[in-house]
Amino acid sequence: MSAIQRTITTTTIQPLLHSTSLQEIPLFSCRIAAGFASPADDHLDNPIDLNKLMVPRPAATFMLKVEGDSMIGAGIHDGDLLIIDRSKTAVNGSVVIAVVHGELTVKRLQRDSRGIQLVPENPAFKPIHIHDESELVIWGCVTHAIHNL
């Protein structure tokens, strides 16, 4: 079995519980300009529920808090909350939560002719090269990063 195909069968991580309460937030139908200003549109679209938007599969979803800045180039900052979906298949280029030799990390999965690497998104850090004797377990794919401004 390849290192990418390995998965955790049992963990102590509990999935996010599906909330029975709906907290809808108004969504304006216009988009906001991040460059030059444009006239505002006062039309409201249907409200959105962040649970439905960010956690489509609650039984396969968990959250972790980030420590460090090795993924700053991917928009993942120290202190961010990550939403991880264990049901998504990790493919080349996925941002994954992985356990390498017993240590938890968040990195971009890269597979090429040289093999498998877990690549940081900060040039101050080096990639983790996965060898045949390496212990690698992919816990899931990061789907969202939540951080304060």
Q: What is the CATH number of the domain that holds 137?
A: 2.10.109.10
Q: Which of 21, 65, 70, 134 is catalytic?
A: 70
What average pLDDT score do residues 94-104 get?
Answer: 94
Q: Which of 107, 113, 126, 134 is catalytic?
A: 107
Decide if 76 is inside a domain.
Answer: yes
Decide if 96 is inside a domain.
Answer: yes
Decide if 54 is inside a domain.
Answer: no
Q: Which pLDDT band holds residue 82 (cuts at 50, 70, 90)?
A: very high
What average pLDDT score do residues 60-80 get?
Answer: 95
70 is catalytic: yes
pLDDT value at residue 11: 37
* Residues 69, 123 contacting (CB under 8 angstroms): no
Q: Is 92 helix (H, G, I), strand (E, B) or coil?
A: coil
107 is catalytic: yes
Looking at the predicted structure, is the pLDDT value of residue 62 above 60? yes
CA distance 66 to 149: 15
Looking at the predicted structure, is the pLDDT value of residue 42 above 60? no
CA distance 120 to 98: 12
**Beta pairing partners, 24:** 49
pLDDT value at residue 24: 65
How many domains would you assign to the chain? 1
What's the domain range around 111? 59-146
